[in-house]
Structure 1
């Protein structure tokens, strides 16, 4: 027993990785925000960043409890609906104005700037992540 502990401590001191001790990247999202529509009744847009985990997955849906429906899109003025967004292992996939984003349709009219919404991101492996998203007005600058 003492020998095993001693060898383990020596391995750590020498920087030799031990099985099960190394940190693995986890799938997560951050920096969520939602821009309200300039015209009442039009969709809002949601943005965030997804960081891939140890295995590739696809983001297959994003929803919010304050919108009736949502769709993932790519592009700005010539946007197109997409059914899934690949998230490569260890990659960073941004959802930004003019690029990938989520359209939130039929938003609750009571949602005002300053509120934090909850987005539910669902992935092809069954993983679900909740991401907070700060609401801004249509004309406000994007958060930095």
Structure 2
């Protein structure tokens, strides 16, 4: 084959690589159960932005009927409070942690079958229609994270 043909193949491969869309992703997911049965659990994870800015607009967890996005913050009187938020900006290429004391997901009506040591699939929905999934390890109420 001629050198010209290999040049065409190289350009085509480079163009295809540039056209590949990197989607948002999630990693390091874990769920901390509530200390009191019937109270909400908390979900933590790290989001990774894709090629374009987007917003996280929802999280679902297998077998959990309701999940809300929340942000913890200190009030003027040095009290910790939480606010529900409908969406969270995810800039392109960013790593955005959801961790204790900050952004997190609140899981309501967690079924009794979801116990420490098990895993649950967390699915993340973005404003641009994309989704991502991560397996979350379930830990007890007193745990500071997965082991």
Q: TM-score, normalised by structure 2?
A: 0.84
Backbone CA RMSD of aligned residues: 2.2
What corresponds to 1:123 in structure 2? 126
The total of aligned residue pairs comes to: 139
Bigger shift: residues 20-29 or 48-57: 20-29
What corresponds to 2:85 in structure 1? 82
1:104 partnered with 2:107: yes
- Deviant stretches of 4+, over 6 Å: none
Conservation of the 8 A alpha-carbon contact between 1:25 and 1:90: no
What corresponds to 2:65 in structure 1? 68
Distance 1:7 1:130 in 2: 39
Q: Counterpart of 2:30 in 1: which secondary structure?
A: strand
Q: TM-score, normalised by structure 1?
A: 0.86
Partner of residue 91 from structure 1, selected from 85, 94, 97: 94
5+ long unaligned stretches in structure 2: 74-79
